[in-house]
Structure formats: structure tokens, C-alpha cells
Amino acid sequence: ERLNTVREEEEARRAEELARQQALVEQRRLEQEREERERKRHENEIQQIKDRHLKEKMQQISQTAHGQKILRKLDEEDIKKLDAEQIAAREAEELQKERREMQQKLKSQEKKIDYFERAKRIEEIPLLQQSFRDKQVEEKKLWEEQEARRIAELVLERERAVETRKRLARMTQDRNEFLTKLKSGRDTIYQAKLKEYEKKLAEERKNDYNKEKKSAGKLGKPNGLR
């Protein structure tokens, strides 16, 4: 009976240990599942952030023509690896490349233009010479017309000057004659006034003389002879 009791207790301990072990296993399994869910959630968040950054990068790069060229040359994985400085460096590199290509095209076009211009100038030399001769003839004709007008204006101006001098001379002569007549008239009036004054003065003197003589005569007679 005691042996049975010991056996039962041993079996009970083993069953308890087994249950504890199973509980630990279940707990670890649940913990692992929770960690796995947390890891996946975290990875999803990171991936969403990466996707958003990738979209922003692609939108940023596509704003310029050279940026669009960069996008055509790169895949998403390459773009994901680029940061802001690398994007700027790629854009600068692409822009520099475009400038070199544009300069090369311009040089090539300039060479073509120079070639055509030289050929064109050679063909146009006779035309230019004829145009130059025509221009000389036209300029000479224009100069002759201008010179003729200038000479005509000088002649007209000379005639006007002569006429002006003649008119001034006539005006001066008329002025002198007027002054002479005025002076002569004044002298005539002066002489007439002078003669009239001298006549009056002589008369006054004569009257005074007669008065004095008469007074003297009266004083010289005696009182009885009245």
C-alpha cells in the first residue's frame, strides 16, 4: 500500500512537471507569435516609411528634365539606396552632361553654319559688289541733290542778305534826310524867333529911349514957361 502511494505521488509529480513544461512551451510559443507579429508590424511601418520616402524622392527627382532622365536610368532599388546628397549629385552630373552635349551640338551647328555662311558669302560676292556699286551711285546722286539744294539755299540767302543791306541803306538814307530836314526846320524856326525877339528888343529899347528923352526934356524946362 505504501508502495502504491509512493508510485502515485511520483506519477503526480511527473504529470505536474509535464503540465508545467507544456505551459512553458505554450507560453514561449505565444511569446514568439507576439514578437513575430510585432516584428512584422514594425517592418510594415518601416516599409511604409520607405515607400513614402521613395515616392517623395521620385516626385522630387521628376520635377526637372534631367531628373526624369535619372529616373529612366534607375530602378526602384537603386532609388531606394539614394539619399538627398546622392540625388543632388546625380542631378548635377546629369545637368553637366546635358551642358556638355549641348555645347557639342552648338559647336557642330556652328561649324555647319560657318561652312554654309562661307559658301553663301562666296556666292554672294558678285551680288555684294553690284550692291556696293549701286549704293555708291545712289549715294552720289543723293549727295549731288543735297549739294544742289545747299547751293540754291546759299544763293537765296545771299540775295536776301543783299536785299536786306539795300533796305537798311535806304532806311539809313531816309533817316539822315529826315534828321537833316528836322534840323533845318528847327534852324529856320530859331532864326525867325530870334529876328522877332531882336525886333521886339529894338522896339523896347526905342520906347525906353523916347521915354527917357521925353523925361529929360521935361526936367530941363523952367517952371514959368509952362
pLDDT in tens, 78-98: 766 666 667 667 777 877 887
Cα-based angle 44, 48, 51 (whole degrees, multiple of 5) = 135
- In terms of Cβ atoms closer than 10 Å to its own Cβ (0-12, 13-18, 19+), residue 155 is exposed
Let me know if residue 161 belongs to a domain.
no
The whole-number pLDDT of residue 217 equals 57
Alpha-carbon span 75 to 169, nearest angstrom: 107
Kindly report, residue by residue over 109-149, the tens digit of the pLDDT.
777 666 656 656 666 667 767 777 888 888 888 888 888 88
Name the nearest CA neighbour of 97 among 73, 114, 78.
73
Confidence of residue 3 (pLDDT cuts 50, 70, 90): low
Cα separation, 16 vs 10, in Å, equals: 10
Closest CA to 91 of 74, 69, 59, 58: 69
Does any domain span residue 204?
A: no
- pLDDT, greater one: 205 or 23: 23
Overall number of domains in the chain: 1
Answer yes or no: is 214 within a domain. no
**Is residue 123 assigned to a domain?**
yes
- CB burial readout 88-108, b (16+ within 10 A) else e: eebbeebeeeeeeeeeeeeee
Q: How confident is residue 226, by pLDDT bands cut at 50, 70 and 90?
A: very low
Range of the structural domain that residue 83 is part of: 2-127
Opening angle at CA 27, ends 22 and 28, nearest 5: 100
- Stated pTM of the model: 0.31
Residue 48 lies in a domain: yes
Whether residue 94 lies inside any domain: the answer is yes
- pLDDT given for residue 166 in this prediction: 81
Q: What percent of the chain has pLDDT over 90?
A: 1
Which residues are CB-contacts of 44 (< 8 A; sequence separation ≥ 6)? none
pLDDT band at 12 (very low <50, low <70, confident <90, very high): confident
In a domain, 197, yes or no: no
Q: For residue 103, what pLDDT band results from cuts at 50, 70 and 90?
A: confident
pLDDT digits (tens, 9 = 90+) for 41-81: 888 888 888 778 777 777 776 777 766 777 677 666 776 66
Q: Grid coordinates standing for 155?
A: 544763293
Whether 221 has a pLDDT exceeding 60, the answer reads no
Mean pLDDT of 185-189: 68
Looking at the domain assignment, is residue 148 inside a domain?
no
Position 52 scores a pLDDT of 82
Q: What is the pLDDT of residue 225?
A: 43
**Interval 13-36 mean pLDDT:** 88
Considering only residues 206 and 142, tell me which one the structure prediction assigns the higher pLDDT.
142
